Amino acid sequence: MIPVREALADLADEQREFAALLGALQDADWPRPSAADGWTVADQVAHLADTEEVAADTLADGPRAFTRTVPRYATAEDFTAAGCRRGDGLAPGDLTAWWDRAAARTRRLLAERAPEDRVAWGFGMNTETFAAARLMEHWAHGLDIRDALGLPVDETPRLRRIAVLGHSTLNYALAMGRVRRPQGRTLRLEWTERDGTGHMVGPADATDVLRGPLLAWCRVATRRVRGSPAALNATIRTSSRTAEGELTAEGELAELAVLHARAYL
């Protein structure tokens, strides 16, 4: 089998950065509210530890595989909440060790997969996309911690995977928002990195275009906008301003992407 080398390497790098973030926390930081409403910093770590266990069992066809575990709950939110509660009462070191063990197991199992192998996660995806999805989860939940504690957010090339994921999951995002995709509309995403490098995903002849900074789009795609009075729930018709810059939308589908993008289940 051909290992998912690049995606797995990016995931490992993102998780190393997340581990460094946890290692820099003080004991008093763990019970503090994170940037996600109703979640503490400890909840963020417990959620990732729990879902990494489910991710690993999904790859290994184990007892906590996604298709066996999630249907036991009335809603996806109930599944997520139960995972957070598994961390209640654990010391920071124990929470970190739990997450580290689960994440390492997921990486080992991913290394045995070919890029196009299917993973029964959500509606199903290939191994490379699954690795990108786990990267996205760690970045987004790490962002919740960084934003709450006022820590800087770096832009790394790994964010390109999140940008692409946010574009490729748009149909799912619109469905979750109960929004009909406009007929005959296609979307091209053009993002600019801090060094001025430009990238594009989507048809060159797309009817609609969404442009802006990479970090701004990744915040929108993971629904972690800050610095915008309207945030994500307002009726944004042409642009969304975040602390990292402005996204401009040309066309109805691009406007809907700003409002409803959601790169996670």
pLDDT tens profile 62-102: 999 999 999 999 999 999 999 999 999 999 999 999 999 99
User: Is the predicted pLDDT of residue 2 greater than 70, yes or no?
Assistant: no
Q: How crowded is residue 204: how many other Cβ atoms within 10 Å of its Cβ?
A: 6
| pTM of this structure | 0.92
pLDDT bracket for residue 233 (50, 70, 90): very low
Rounded Cα distance, 179 and 185, in Å: 14
Which whole number is the average pLDDT over 233-254?
Answer: 69
The answer to whether residues 239 and 249 touch, using CB atoms and an 8 Å cutoff, is yes
Report the pLDDT value the prediction gives residue 244, as an integer from 0 to 100: 62
User: Is the predicted pLDDT of residue 185 greater than 60, yes or no?
Assistant: yes
CB neighbour list of residue 142: distance below 8 Å, 6 or more residues apart? 17, 18, 21, 44
The tokens 């609609």 sit on which residue? 208
Give me the chain's average pLDDT, please.
92
pLDDT bracket for residue 238 (50, 70, 90): very low
